Amino acid sequence: MKFSIVHVITTIDLGGAEKQLLTLAECQRRNGEEVQVVFLKGHPSLLRAFREADIKVSTEFSVLNFARQFLTLRKQSRLNGVIFHAHLPRSELLCALALRPKSFVVTRHNAEPFFPKAPRFLSRMLSRFVLKRSYACISISHAVDSYLKVSKEAPVDTKLFVIHYGMQDYFVYKERIDDFNNLEKKQIGTISRLVPQKNIPLILQAMHILKVENERDFYLTVAGTGPLERELRSMSIRLGIEKNVTWAGKVSQVDEFYKKIQVFVLSSDYEGFGLVLLEAMSYGVPVVARKVSAIPEVLGFEHPGLLVTDRPEELAAKIDEFLLDLDARNNCLSYQANQILKFSISDTKVLHDKVYECLLAGD
C-alpha cells in the first residue's frame, strides 16, 4: 500500500526531531510514498535538504498566525486518504483542533511535559486533549512511552506505539582510522542545545579535571546554541579552561565535526532518544554518556561508555580511558558497530506503515 502523508512539524531547524523527520520522509519518498512537510515557524535550516530529497515543503504556514494556520489546515483535512502526522507540541495542538478526531497520528519526541514551561495541570490537560483526538501516539523510545504513562499525560485508552529513530541504511557505520599514538592533542566533542537539561557544566568540570591532572592537551568543541551560552562561557573562564573550549554554534554539516573529535560526550539529565548518539556511533566515535532515560536504550545497556553517576571525576576518567587505552577504545567501537545495526530507517518506516494502515482501515 502506498500512502499520501502530510507531516506537520513546528520547525525544520537543526533539532533531533527535525533531522529524523528528514530521514524518515526521505525513506518514505524513496519507497514511492507521496510526502509533504508543513512547518509552522522558525528558520527553515533543513529546507534545502528536504527539497533535494524530492520532498514537497509548504512554506505558507510559517507566515500565518495560529488562527489562519488552523483555517488553512482545516481545508486540507477534507482531502481523502491523506495521513496527517504531527510532530512537536504546537503542531500536535494545531492538528487536534483543525482535523477530524482519530484522523491523525502524533509522535512524541521528548520525555518531558507537553508544554514544559506551563503549569503541570495545564500541560497534562492539553496533552490528554491532543491524544484523545489522535488515532495513535508514537513514542520514539520506551523512556518516552513510560513518561507518558507515569505522568498521566496520555489517557489510558490511547493507542501507544514505540518506534525508535533510524539511520539511513547506507549510513549505518563509517569506519575511521585515527592516529592513536598522537597523544599531544585530544579532541572531545558534544552537540547539544545549551539548556539545563543537557547539563553542559558537567562536561566543563570534567575538562577542568583533565587539564589539571594531565600534561597532555585536551580540547572540547561544543556545537549548539541556547539561552545558557553566556553563563557556560563564563563558567569555562572561572575554571581556567576557556582556551581549551570552542563554542561552535549551530553545525549544519556534522561530517567535519565528527571527523575532528576522538570522543563524543552526552551529559544530559534525560533524553527522549538522543539522535546524536546514533550519529556518533555511525561515524565510529566512542561515546561517553550517562545511564539515564533513553540513553542506555539507544547505546545498549552494556555499553562500556555508560556512567551511572553524574560525578565529573568519573566522566573525566572515562574520557581519559577511551583516549589512552587502545583496547578499551576498540572494545567500545566494536560494541557500537553492532549496536548501530539495530537502528535502520527501513525498519522504522515499516513500523510507521503498520500504524498508517490501521488508521486508514479504522482498526
1: Cα within 13 Å, side-chain hemisphere: 18
pTM of the predicted protein model: 0.93
Predicted local distance difference test score (pLDDT) of residue 140: 98
Q: State residue 32's pLDDT score.
A: 95
Q: How confident is the model at residue 21 (pLDDT cuts 50, 70, 90)?
A: very high
Tens-place pLDDT, residues 292-335? 999 999 999 999 999 999 999 999 999 999 999 999 999 999 99
Predicted local confidence at residue 79, as pLDDT: 81
Q: Report residue 14 as a C-alpha cell.
A: 537543526
Tell me which CATH code domain 173-342 carries.
Answer: 3.40.50.2000
pLDDT for the residue 1: 78
Residue 50 has pLDDT above 70, yes or no: yes
Which residues of the chain form CATH 3.40.50.2000? 4-167+344-361, 173-342
Q: Identity (one letter) of the amino acid at 207? A: M
In the structure, what pLDDT confidence band is assigned to residue 175 with cuts at 50, 70 and 90?
low
Angle at 230 between CA 226 and CA 236, to 5 degrees: 115
**% of the chain residues with pLDDT over 90:** 88
Mean pLDDT of the chain, nearest integer: 94
In this structure, are residues 289 and 265 in contact, taking their beta carbons and an 8 Å threshold?
A: yes
Tell me what pLDDT residue 170 has: 55
Q: How much is the average pLDDT of 3-15?
A: 96
Pairing of strands 82-87, 263-266: unpaired
**For residue 181, pLDDT beyond 70:** no
Per residue in 151-172, pLDDT tens? 999 999 999 999 999 998 655 5
- How many angstroms separate the CA atoms of 35 and 20, rounded? 15
What's phi and psi for 349, nearest 5 deg?
-65, -45
Proportion of the chain above pLDDT 70, given as a percent: 95
Strands 34-39 vs 4-9: parallel, antiparallel or unpaired: parallel
Q: pLDDT tens across 57-71, in order?
A: 999 999 999 999 999
Element (H, E) at 9: strand 4-9
Average pLDDT for 190-199 = 96
Residue 344 DSSP class: B
pLDDT over 80 (residue 178): no
- Grid cell of 21 as nine digits: 523527520
The neighbour count for residue 184, using CB atoms within 10 Å, is 8
Does the structure show a pLDDT above 80 at 56? yes
Report the pLDDT averaged over residues 148-153: 97
| CB-CB contact of 38 with 8 (8 Å) | yes
Per-residue pLDDT tens for 74-120? 998 888 889 999 999 999 999 999 999 999 999 999 999 999 989 99
User: Which one, of 174, 189, 194, lies nearest residue 322 by Cα?
Assistant: 189
Is it the case that residue 141 has pLDDT exceeding 80?
A: yes
Which CATH number among 3.30.450.190, 3.30.365.10, 3.40.50.2000, 3.90.660.10 corresponds to the domain 4-167+344-361? 3.40.50.2000
Look at residue 215 in the predicted model and tell me its pLDDT: 67
Determine the pLDDT at residue 220. Answer: 97
pLDDT (mean) for 212-216: 78
Confidence band of 40 (pLDDT split at 50, 70, 90): very high
**Whole-number Cα distances in Å, 79 to 5, 131, 360:** 11, 22, 13
Res. 173: pLDDT tops 60 = no
User: What is the Rg, in whole angstroms, of the alpha carbon atoms belonging to the chain?
Assistant: 21
CA distance 216 to 16: 33
Please give the full DSSP string across 149-192, using - where no structure is assigned.
HHTT-S-TT--EEE----B-GGGS-------TT--SEEEEEEE-
